[in-house]
């Protein structure tokens, strides 16, 4: 294992390169070891100052609260971690969520939602919806909740708002998707065009994760599994970002186009030369810090 250097120009890319080498050399990793590797995701992220953490349960779902000093307790980021619906955790993402929470002046709850393949779709989605509704029941205004996530968690952040709308529940005030992974058909053009520049994502890796989360019961075009098929009329404000070098870039651009065509107030930020979920470099690179600052300005607008 190579721990990314704080002096690296791109600590996240270094970590992804190391993971890719491990995965290539160890094709039969158990789910437990696969998850252990991806729990290193926090390593490129500098620990934010003036933030405390507390384990908690919201809507029956375990997770970690991030409490920046001076943050508004009545404004909540409901954060769903990435990891192909199968890996990643509240622990691997707490620092990233805390950086964002600190920047926007809110608290954050990072969900440890049920993961595939033990719990295929819609388990993670239902956990996200349950947590949202529980926050509302606890007195948090729906408009003061933001569903936010990265990669597969970005999918859940978007799909949760779609599910709430479909079920006639109140909607979050905004939705944020970092490098969202939405395309369960694996049909995106940048899977090929950015294959050489993406240090982690590959078609075979995605195929395995799709099989785990969808199983034999869910269509890859089901709108709550693949939000690119969703109905975005009446959808909340939406912020999407992606790295210019990542293979899932067109998931972000397609989502932005679909949302815009539906009349959504959507902002798309694509940063050249960056990897999948590049805000993980928070506190380490200007690209990550500048992106979080742009998001904070958008959030407060």
CA dist 174 and 70 (Å) reads 21
What DSSP designation does 247 have? T
CA dist 179 and 186 (Å) reads 15
Helix then strand count (H, E) for the chain reads 9, 8
CA dist 51 and 60 (Å) reads 24
Give yes or no for a contact between 59 and 109, defined as CB atoms under 8 angstroms apart: no
Greatest distance between any 2 Cα atoms in the chain: 50
Plot region of 70 (φ>0 → left; ψ -120 to 50 → alpha; else → beta): left
Pairing state between β 61-68 and 51-58: antiparallel
Q: Which residues are catalytic?
A: 151, 246, 276
- Please give the helix or strand (H or E) that residue 54 lies within, else none: strand 51-58
CA dist 238 and 254 (Å) reads 13
- Residue whose entry in the numeric block shows the structure tokens 């933001």: 146
Three-point CA angle 151, 87, 269, nearest 5°: 15
CA dist 31 and 4 (Å) reads 23
CA dist 238 and 123 (Å) reads 23
């Amino acid at each position: 294992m190579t721990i990314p250097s704080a002096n690296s120009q791109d600590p996240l890319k270094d970590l992804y390169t190391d993971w890719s080498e491990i995965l290539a050399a160890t094709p039969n990793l158990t789910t437990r070891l696969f998850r252990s590797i991806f729990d290193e995701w926090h390593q490129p992220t500098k620990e934010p100052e003036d933030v405390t953490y507390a384990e908690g349960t919201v809507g029956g779902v375990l997770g970690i609260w991030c409490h920046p000093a001076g943050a508004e307790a009545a404004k909540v980021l409901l954060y769903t971690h990435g990891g192909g619906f199968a890996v990643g955790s509240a622990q691997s993402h707490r620092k990233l969520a805390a950086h964002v929470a600190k920047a926007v002046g809110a608290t954050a709850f990072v969900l440890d939602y049920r993961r595939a393949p033990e719990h295929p779709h819609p388990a993670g989605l239902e956990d996200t919806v349950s947590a949202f509704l529980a926050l509302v029941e606890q007195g948090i205004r729906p408009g003061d909740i933001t569903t936010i996530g990265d990669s597969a968690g970005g999918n859940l952040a978007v799909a949760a708002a779609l599910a709430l709308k479909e079920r006639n529940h109140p909607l979050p005030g905004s939705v944020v998707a970092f490098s969202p992974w939405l395309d369960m058909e694996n049909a995106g053009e940048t899977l090929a065009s950015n294959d050489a520049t993406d240090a982690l994502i590959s078609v075979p890796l995605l195929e395995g994760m799709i099989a785990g989360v969808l199983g034999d019961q869910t269509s890859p075009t089901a709108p709550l599994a693949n939000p690119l098929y969703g109905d975005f009329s009446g959808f909340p404000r939406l912020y999407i970002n992606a790295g210019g070098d990542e293979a899932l870039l067109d998931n972000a651009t397609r989502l932005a186009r679909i949302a815009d065509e539906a009349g959504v107030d959507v902002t798309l930020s694509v940063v050249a030369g960056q990897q999948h979920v590049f805000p993980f470099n928070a506190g380490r690179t200007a690209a990550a810090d500048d992106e979080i600052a742009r998001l904070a300005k958008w959030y407060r607008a």
